[in-house]
Structure 1
Amino acid sequence: MKSVRFKFLPALLMFAVFLSGCSGEAEKVAEKPAPVHIEDGDECHVCGMAITPFPGPKGEVITEKEQTVHKFCSTRDMFAWVLQPENVMRKHTLYVHDMSQTEWASPDDAALIDAREAVYVVGSERKGAMGQTLASFSTESAAHDFMMEHGGEMLQYDAITLEHLNTEMPAGDMHSDMQR
Structure 2
Amino acid sequence: MTTTALSRRRLLCAACALPLASLVACGRDENSATPKPAEIETATACELDGMMLAEYAGPKAQVHYVGAAAPVFFCDTVEMFAALLRPEQARSVRAAFAQDMAKADWDKPRGHWFDAKTGFYVAGSKRHGSMGPTIASFAAQADAQKFVGQWGGKVLQFAEVTPAMAELGGGALHDGKM
TM-score (norm 1): 0.76
Q: Post-superposition shift, 1:93? A: 0.7
Report the counterpart of residue 132 of structure 2 in structure 1.
Answer: 131
Q: Post-superposition shift, 1:102? A: 1.4
CA contact (8 A) 1:56 1:128 kept: yes
The alignment-based identity, stated in percent, is 29
Report the counterpart of residue 174 of structure 1 in structure 2.
Answer: 174
Residues 172, 98 of structure 1: CA spacing in aligned structure 2 closer, same or farther, 3 A cutoff? closer
Aligned with residue 69 of structure 1, among 71, 77, 80: 71
Deviating more after overlay: 81-90 vs 44-53: 81-90
Q: Which runs of 5+ in 1 are unaligned?
A: 1-20
For residues 44 and 172 of structure 1, the distance between their equivalents in structure 2, rounded to whole angstroms, comes to 14
For residues 157 and 88 of structure 1, the distance between their equivalents in structure 2, rounded to whole angstroms, comes to 19
Q: Post-superposition shift, 1:107? A: 1.0
CA contact (8 A) 1:42 1:50 kept: yes
AA of the residue aligned to 2:50: G
Report the counterpart of residue 85 of structure 2 in structure 1.
Answer: 83
Q: Which runs of 5+ in 2 are unaligned?
A: 1-21
Deviations 1:66-91 (A, max 9, x none): 24310111111111111222327833
CA contact (8 A) 2:40 2:110 kept: no
Report the counterpart of residue 92 of structure 1 in structure 2.
Answer: 94
Report the counterpart of residue 122 of structure 2 in structure 1.
Answer: 121
Cα RMSD (Å): 2.8
The question of 1:155 aligning with 2:156 is answered: yes
The question of 1:57 aligning with 2:59 is answered: yes
The question of 1:44 aligning with 2:25 is answered: no
CA contact (8 A) 1:82 1:88 kept: no
Q: Post-superposition shift, 1:55? A: 0.6
Secondary structure at the counterpart of residue 144 of structure 2: helix
TM-score (norm 2): 0.77
For residues 105 and 167 of structure 2, the distance between their equivalents in structure 1, rounded to whole angstroms, comes to 26
Number of corresponding residues: 158
